[in-house]
Structures are given as structure tokens and as C-alpha cells.
């Protein structure tokens, strides 16, 4: 959907406002901190939960747009960003831990997501996998090594209810939630968040690339996010360099 002046209805952006490479935090307040790691960042617009800055990395236009919390708003952001020219996305956020040996502050580089949410069902049947772009997974792994971030790669659970995770015992379906959580743990899922699965499914349908990196929160207080943001930005540098080497149009 476009407005009369050619802007996308929700994100309030038009073609030329963003680069092909976009970082996607949930929190609008994190966009400025991410943009500060770009060269010559400019605040483009904020509308609803969608806050956007654009700058440059290694001479290539890049952007950061917040998605708000949850798969519905994240899917809208991705749909509309693709319509204005973006094609490479990295979800940058925080998550709860599932594996008990993960320490707070460790990064989870997401290879795939459990579709424990409803938005992606409006795109593809549940049998369709939610898988991250392999080139972005590898770029994030290289980036984490360069930033010195403690990290591991694996699966996330994407859910719709924050309190369903944190207070399942008071829910009418509490036993089912607890059993499913145990299944994710047994299956080796690393962490739990609220956006990745829809982003991966929508990206697959739109023939664009999506990946994700989460800082895992295992106990209070939440560690500083600096290493997470630095790793995400370095991953953009990595994928841009690879794309240039492979002759892909980066502008």
C-alpha cells in the first residue's frame, strides 16, 4: 500500500530512502545506536513502531529500520522495505535462553526458526521451513569472530506471547506450553524470540535474504548490547564485501 506521495503506508518510506542492506531491531530506541556505527547516518523518518536511519558502510548505502514487537509488524516492515528496494535483512535483537548452558550475553546466530506463531501461517503452510539465508549465517559467523563475540549457531523459537513463555503456569494452556518448551529444549533450540520465523518465511516468498543474530538473556541484568550491534554491523560489511566480489549489485 502506498500513500499519495509514493510512500509505503506503515514504514513511511519511498524508493531511495533506504539501502539494499537493512538491519532490523525490534526496539525503535535502538536504531540511533546502530546508526551511530554507520558512516554519515541520517534520520529518515519514524511512523508508529517503524524508525529508520540511513547511512553508509564501505561506500554502500545501508539502513536500520525497527519492526516493533512480534511477527505481524515485522512482516509488514519486510514487505514494505522490499517494495522500496531493500533485499538483504538481518534481524538484530534480544532473546530468552532455551539451552541451560547458554550464558547471558552470548550471541545466537540463527540458522532456522520454529514457527510457533500465527503470522507465517498466512503466507505458507506449517510444513514449510523457516530458514535463514546461508550467506548471511556465514557472514554473521565471520563477524562474530572478528568482534570477539562469544556465539553459537542454531535454531530459535519464534512465538506470539511473551508472558506465555515467562508465566506459563497461569495460562489456560499452561501444561501444553510447558511440554512444548521441553520439546524445543530436547530438540536443541538455542533461544526464544518473537520475529525471526515470519521474517524468514516472508523473505523466502519474496526471494530476498534474511538472517538473524540475538543476544541471549539468561539472567538479569541484561548485558550491554554493544557487542551485538557491532557484530550485526560487521556482518553487513562481510556480506557487502562478498557481494562485491561476486559481482552482485550493491547499490
Digitized pLDDT (tens) for each residue of the chain, 251 residues in all: 788 788 999 999 999 999 999 999 999 999 999 999 999 999 999 999 999 999 999 999 999 999 999 999 999 999 999 999 999 999 999 999 999 999 999 999 999 999 999 999 999 999 999 999 999 999 999 999 999 999 999 999 999 999 998 899 999 999 999 999 999 999 999 999 999 999 999 999 999 999 999 999 987 778 899 999 999 999 999 999 999 999 999 99
At 13, which helix (H) or strand (E)? none
Write down how long the chain is: 251
Query: Peptide bond preceding 99: is omega within 30 degrees of 0, i.e. cis?
Result: no
Q: Which domains does the chain have, with CATH numbers?
A: 21-245 (3.40.50.1580)
- pTM of the predicted model as reported, rounded to 2 decimal places: 0.96
User: Are residues 229 and 115 in contact, defined by beta-carbon separation less than 8 angstroms?
Assistant: no
The DSSP bridge pattern shows strands 88-97 and 209-217 to be: parallel
Q: Where are the alpha helices (DSSP H) in the chain?
A: 31-35, 71-83, 134-147, 162-166, 174-187, 196-206, 226-245
Amino acid at each position: 500500500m502506498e500513500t499519495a506521495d509514493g510512500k509505503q503506508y506503515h514504514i513511511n518510506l519511498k524508493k531511495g530512502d533506504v539501502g539494499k542492506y537493512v538491519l532490523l531491531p525490534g526496539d525503535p530506541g535502538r536504531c540511533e545506536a546502530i546508526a551511530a556505527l554507520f558512516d554519515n547516518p541520517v534520520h529518515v523518518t519514524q511512523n508508529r513502531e517503524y524508525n529508520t536511519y540511513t547511512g553508509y558502510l564501505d561506500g554502500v548505502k545501508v539502513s536500520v529500520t525497527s519492526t516493533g514487537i512480534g511477527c505481524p509488524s515485522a512482516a509488514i516492515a519486510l514487505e514494505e522495505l522490499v517494495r522500496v528496494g531493500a533485499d538483504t535483512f538481518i534481524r538484530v535483537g534480544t532473546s530468552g535462553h532455551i539451552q541451560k548452558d547458554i550464558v547471558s550475553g552470548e550471541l545466537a546466530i540463527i540458522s532456522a526458526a520454529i514457527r510457533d506463531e500465527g503470522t507465517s501461517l498466512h503466507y505458507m503452510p506449517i510444513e514449510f521451513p523457516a530458514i535463514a539465508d546461508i550467506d548471511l549465517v556465514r557472514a554473521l559467523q565471520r563477524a562474530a569472530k572478528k568482534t570477539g563475540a562469544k556465539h553459537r549457531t542454531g535454531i530459535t523459537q519464534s512465538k506470539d506471547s511473551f508472558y506465555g513463555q515467562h508465566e506459563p503456569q497461569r495460562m489456560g494452556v499452561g501444561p501444553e506450553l510447558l511440554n512444548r518448551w521441553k520439546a524445543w529444549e530436547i530438540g536443541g533450540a538455542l533461544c526464544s524470540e518473537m520475529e525471526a520465523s515470519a521474517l524468514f518465511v516472508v523473505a523466502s516468498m519474496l526471494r530476498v535474504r534474511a538472517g538473524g543474530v540475538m543476544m541471549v538473556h539468561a539472567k538479569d541484568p541484561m548485558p550491554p548490547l554493544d557487542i551485538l550491534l557491532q557484530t550485526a554491523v560487521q556482518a553487513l560489511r562481510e556480506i557487502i564485501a562478498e557481494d562485491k566480489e561476486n559481482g552482485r549489485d550493491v547499490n
